[in-house]
Amino acid sequence: MSRSCVKEFILEIWKGQRYKVPSSLFLCQNLIHLELFNCLLKPPSTFKGFRNLKSLDLQHITLSQDVFENLISSSPTLERLTLMNFDGFTHLNIDAPNLQFFDIGGVFDDVTFENTFHLALVSIGLYVNVKNDQAMGPGNSCKLLRFFVHLPHIRRLEIQSYFLKYLAIGNVPSRLPRPCVDLNYLSIRINFNDLEENLAALCLLRSSPNLQELEMLARPEETGIGVLTNFWEVDHWTSLFSQLRMVKIVGISGIRSELEFIKFVLSNSPVLETMTIKPASLEGGWDLIKELLRFRRASARAEIIYLDPQLQ
C-alpha cells in the first residue's frame, strides 16, 4: 500500500495472541482514522506520532506506558479516543488539545487530563474495585478535583463500573471549585450503601446546575462503607435541579438510601417530566411502587414509570 495515501486503517484479529503491528504502519503520516483489535504496538524509535490522526480506537491492545503517552501527545489533531481492555500500562495521562470524545473501559491505577479543554463527551469504566484506604495524604487534592480541572466544557459524562469509587478517593469537597455549567447528561453507577460514593455523587450533582438528564445504576449486591443514616434526607442544597427533566434509576432493591435519593430528586426537580425506575428484581415490587407514590413531587408534570425488571 502507498503510505502517503492511507487515511483509514482498521485491523481486527479475532483469534490467537496479540498481533504485532508492522513498523510500516507508523510511517503512514496521513492517517485520519486508526482502529486496532487484539494487537501489540511497538513503534520504532523514530516514530514521532500521527500528525493528522483524528480518531483512534484501540481494543484488547498491548503497549507500554511510554508508547501510549507518546502516541496520544504526538497526535495533536486527535478528536476521538476509544480505549478498551488494554495492558502494558496503568496510568492514563491524556494530553490532547483537540480531543472531544473519550471512551475508556479497563483496569488502570490513575487517569489525568492535560490540555483537554475541548473534551465534551466522556465515558469511563474502571473494571476493578478500589478501596478508600488508597486515599492521598494531607495537603493533596482528591481524585475528584484533579479529574475535572481540565474538563471545563464537558457536556456528557458516564461513570461506569467502579470509577465513582476511584473519584471518591481523598477528601471529597461539597462541590467543585468551578461548576460544570455545560454538563447536561450524567450517568453514574453507584453503591447506594457506600458513604464515600454517595458523597462523590452529591458533589457532582451540586456542581452540575444545568443537568437535564440523570441516570443512576445501582450496585445493590455490595456491602457499604460508612454510615448513611438520613444522608439524602438532609438539606444538601441551596438551589434546585432547575433544569432536570428526565431521570432513570436502574437496579435498586428498595433499601432506605435508594428511596431517600429518589425522594430527594423528586422534591428538588421543579421541571421534571419523567422518572423511570427499574428495580433489580420483582421481590417487593408492589411495596416499592406504593412507597414511590407517596413521595412529594416538586413538578406537577412529573410522571413515575415503573419497568418490569424481567424485561430487557
| pLDDT grade for 121, boundaries at 50, 70 and 90 | very high
Please compute Rg for the chain using Cα positions: 22
Pair 190, 224 in one domain: yes
What backbone phi and psi angles, to 5 degrees, belong to 248?
Answer: -130, 130
In degrees, to the nearest 5, what angle opens at C-alpha 6 toward C-alphas 4 and 8? 150
Pair 266, 223 in one domain: yes
Q: Give the other-Cβ count within 10 Å of 223's Cβ.
A: 7
Q: Give pTM, 2 decimals.
A: 0.92
What confidence tens digit (pLDDT) does each residue in 163-188 have? 999 999 999 998 999 999 999 999 99
Pair 184, 309 in one domain: yes
Pair 241, 300 in one domain: yes
Structural domain includes residue 110: no
Pair 296, 190 in one domain: yes
Determine which helix (DSSP H) or strand (DSSP E) holds 121, and give its type and residue range: strand 121-126
In degrees, to the nearest 5, what angle opens at C-alpha 272 toward C-alphas 269 and 275? 105
CATH of the domain at 222: 3.80.10
What confidence tens digit (pLDDT) does each residue in 212-230 have? 999 999 986 665 555 566 7
Among 70, 104, 138, where does a domain finish? Answer: 104
